[in-house]
Amino acid sequence: MTRKMPIIITGGGQRLGLACAKALNAEGHQVIITYRKPREEIRSLEQQGVVCIQADFSSTKGVDDFISTVKQNYSALGGIIHNASEWESEKNSVDPSTLMEKMWQVHVFAPYRINLAFEGLLCAGFEHDGQADIIHMTDYVAEKGSDKHIAYASSKAGLTNLTYSFAKRFAPNINVNAIAPSLLMFNDEDAPEYRNKALNKSLLRKEPGEQEGVLAVQYILSSRYMTGRTLSLDGGRHLV
């Protein structure tokens, strides 16, 4: 079912967020994305009819400005996909306290504030379309932890917990679920040694690509009897 009310994808200018924006737009959904830095893909999305809003969720003001922009222009929403993310390790951080604050700002505070601020818009979307969803993009490390990305892993665990709490708060009209990928796709600069090591961490030993994440999003948006759950996309990594 194609929703008449818009679906927001945060961090929709690259990688998985971009793939989801293209796929949902092709299905006939109204799509709104946020992006932090201008890139060629943004112009292409705009030409395809996707609304692109520049927003930086690493500050409270950035989150509040985005909320204000959406409320000024929309009276209802069909869904929110929280995909905006920061990936940084303690090794590359000068100040661990600043790193922890940044990770929680982007992965926890921003979704928390946005979900609360748009509760009324999502309820209006449910009244119009008969369905409304929130999807949190978490991470496999939320379950296992990471000695190299401690702040990142803890913030993704916080986002996982938000899934349970908002599922309770917004039931029965708004479904709230999460997707927890491990490896979906490599970066172009990733070395062969790193790639081999990463592939060997899962039973399936493959790089599934962004489409695996798109399929998970499409499944959640089509399901009407799932809330407060996490879809794990890890290739059986938990069994290795």
Q: CATH number for the domain including 154? A: 3.40.50.720
Domain membership flag for residue 218: yes
User: How would residue 87 be classed by pLDDT, with cut points 50, 70 and 90?
Assistant: confident
Residue 16 confidence (pLDDT) above 80: yes
Could you tell me which residue, 148 or 168, shows the higher pLDDT? 168
| pLDDT over 70, % of the chain | 100
In a domain, 190, yes or no: yes
Domain membership flag for residue 238? no
For residues 28-54, average pLDDT: 97
What's the mean pLDDT in 184-200? 90
pLDDT band for position 188 (cuts 50, 70, 90): confident
pLDDT tens digits, one per residue of 150-169? 999 999 999 999 999 999 99
Note whether residue 2 is domain-resident.
no
Residue % of the chain over a pLDDT of 90? 88
- Number of neighbouring beta carbons within 10 Å of residue 129: 17
Active-site residue, from 152, 164, 219, 225: 152
Task: Record the pTM.
Answer: 0.95
Instruction: Kindly tell me if the per-residue pLDDT of 89 is higher than 90.
Output: no
Mean pLDDT value of segment 16-40: 97
Q: Let me know if residue 240 belongs to a domain.
A: no
Q: What is the mean pLDDT of the chain?
A: 95
What is the domain count for the chain? 1
Based on the residue annotation, tell me whether 112 is a catalytic residue of this protein.
Answer: no
Give domain status of residue 98, yes or no.
yes
pLDDT (0 to 100) of residue 38: 94
| In-domain check, residue 142 | yes
Does position 93 have pLDDT exceeding 80, yes or no? no
pLDDT of residue 1: 73
Q: Within a domain: residue 1?
A: no
Q: In terms of residue numbers, what domain contains 191?
A: 7-233
